[in-house]
A and B are shown apart, each in its own frame.
Chain A
Amino acid sequence: MDIGLTHYLVLSVLLFGVGLYGVLSRRNAVVILMCIELMLNAANLTLVAFSRYIFFYGQAIVIFSLVIAAAEVSVGLATIITFYRQRKNIDIKNINLLKW
């Protein structure tokens, strides 16, 4: 069977699902950031597959998605390191300063 658009879409859905499970179930903040990166990668794969088979513009959007991933991960890791300095752990259960 030849590889088509459906194969790439199903693969990226599987990757996104694994990332979603990680975001919902892990407790370490760094692992949650890594799972968000996984989900962004799955979305990138979808965009590139669509740009290859159907519509052209997806490739340009992938570049913007890369930029946003870099911004997100730098700010997120800075926040995590600041929290670690104050509390000496990065368990997501303890990050509840804004909870009321």
Chain B
Amino acid sequence: MGINIAFWVFAAMAIAGALMVVTMHSLFRAALGLILCILSIAGLFITLSNEYLGIIQILIYIGAIAVLIIMAIVMTRDVEHSNRSSTYKLPAIVCSLAFIGIAIWTILNTKWVPKFTLSDTSLPAKSIGQMLFGQSGLVLAVEIAALLIMVAVIGAISVAKEK
């Protein structure tokens, strides 16, 4: 019962944050909406009894990405109130509504067979560690991801450097 209430509250907060991102005229408020949306998605991860990913979500998205985005907004300050929509507003609405309709229709017409229920609580962070670093794990993919983020950071520095 508690999980039901938590789901509806977090879902409403996530949708509200997402709508703030696309409708607010001030860029700073749009960034705050993004933070609200990310926080409530972390809460949804916790209702899915995945506390580890919820904490990682807060640390990385709010601690790093949202701060980076706010820095960029501040550095491009004189265009702060330019969250205008383009001339393609109507096609954009039609596209996204069509996507939402088709995807929801597909989801509702598929017969999902859940193996676990929400009352199982046997999915700790340990299983993520075993998947990533275990015997038949994804160690190579972890190494490639580390290389990718290093290349991205060096590339970002060399692109943004003052000539």
Tell me the A residues contacting B by CB distance below 8 Å. Answer: 2-11, 13-22, 24-28, 30-31, 33-35, 37-38, 41, 44-45, 48-49, 51-57, 59-60, 62-64, 66-75, 77-82, 84-85, 88-93
Contacts and interface: CB of A to CB of B under 8 A. Distances in A.
Contacts of A57: 131
A65 to B, nearest CB: 10
3 tightest Cβ-Cβ pairs between the two chains A and B:
A71-B152, A24-B92, A25-B92
A85 B4 CA distance: 49
B153 A74 contact: yes
Contacts, number: 244
Nearest to B33: A34
Nearest to B45: A48
A34 B34 contact: yes
Interface residues of B, number: 84
B131 A73 contact: no
Contacts of B132: 60, 63
A11 B96 contact: no
Interface of B is mostly: helix
A31 B28 CA distance: 10
Contacts of B148: 67-68, 71
A99 to B, nearest CB: 16
Contacts of B47: 3
Nearest to A65: B145
B107 to A, nearest CB: 5
A62 to B, nearest CB: 6
Given A21-B22, A68-B145, A71-B149, 11 more contacts: A9-B107, A15-B15, A24-B92, A30-B69, A31-B22, A31-B27, A53-B112, A56-B123, A66-B60, A81-B75, A84-B79
Contacts of A7: 7, 11
A20 B96 contact: yes
A24 B88 contact: yes
Given A2-B4, A26-B86, A13 B128 contact: no
A64 B156 contact: no
Interface in B100-124: 100, 103-104, 107-108, 112-118, 123
B103 to A, nearest CB: 4
B19 A18 contact: yes
Given A17-B96, A25-B85, A77 B68 contact: yes
Given A3-B3, A15-B14, A24-B88, A38 B44 contact: no
